[in-house]
Amino acid sequence: MLELDHIVIATPDMDESISQYGNKFAIKAIKGGEHEDWGTYNYLSFFSNNGYLEFLGIDDLDKAKDAENPLIQHLVYVLEKNNYGAFQFALRTKQLDQYVTHFEKNNIAYHGPYDAQREKPDGTILKWRMLFPEYNYENGVLPFLIEWEDPEVVFSEANLANAQNITKIKFGGITKEDFAHIYQLKPKKLNKNLLHLLNSKILFDDNKELRFDLA
């Protein structure tokens, strides 16, 4: 079953965004690192259920605009539209190749997998792969799948985690049934608008804006 990995926040001014979210939710963020090939960098707010917020900014616009990665293309779009804040999220899996097979078998358009890495401030290299079901970011969003080479390294800052959890993600533009089909989740009949992840929930409503609850 899938887990919530992280929620991505489009950040035109890193210091301002971290301060704004820190004051609103009483959370702290630490430096993540740079994505040299994409022209981006991030800060991260970890939570006790192994999910996190990623504050994602651009430090080389030309590289970002040339990036093939759909996440970076989406980031450039929302920043150019001044649509700051949460805009995308990732679901964690250990079976990324099986999802490729699933997408091909069911004629679900996709992009990837993309290999990626970044260097943490302590010099540790993180490596991961990303897989994107195709979506039109001008009209909505579908989360991407992420598979970490070594998840324990990703969440090694457990002692720095905030006490809260991301308890719920809320967004619209797709039915619960269609979402469950794409991501191979099993909906529970009693929860009409909810899908359960291992460490969080997804609520489907009529609002296409991506939102989340911390508790």
Q: Is residue 140 part of a domain?
A: yes
Instruction: Return the half-sphere exposure (C-beta side, CA atoms, 13 A cut-off) of residue 153.
Output: 17
Q: Taking a C-beta distance cutoff of 8 angstroms, is the pair 200, 185 a contact?
A: no
Q: Is residue 194 part of a domain?
A: no
pLDDT by position in tens, the chain (length 215): 899 999 999 999 999 999 999 999 999 999 988 898 999 999 999 998 889 999 999 999 999 999 999 999 999 999 999 989 999 999 999 999 999 999 999 999 999 999 998 888 778 888 999 999 999 998 889 999 999 998 777 776 656 689 999 999 999 989 999 999 999 998 776 678 999 999 999 999 999 899 999 99
CATH number at residue 131: 3.10.180.10
Q: Taking a C-beta distance cutoff of 8 angstroms, is the pair 135, 113 a contact?
A: no
CA 108 to chain centre: 20
Q: Is residue 67 part of a domain?
A: yes
Q: Is residue 177 part of a domain?
A: no
Q: Is residue 144 part of a domain?
A: yes
Q: Is residue 195 part of a domain?
A: no
Q: Is residue 180 part of a domain?
A: no
Q: Which domain, by its residues, includes 127?
A: 3-160
Cα separation values, 64 from 5, 144, 160, Å: 23, 18, 30
Sign for the pseudo-dihedral over CA of 177, 172, 115, 119? negative
Q: How far apart are CA 2 and CA 35, in angstroms?
A: 25
Q: Is residue 196 part of a domain?
A: no
Q: Which residues of 143-181 are buried (b: 16+ CB within 10 A; e: fewer)?
A: bbbbbbeebeebbeeeeebbebbbbbbbbebbebeebee
CA nearest to 115, candidates 101, 97, 103: 97
Q: How many domains does the chain have?
A: 1
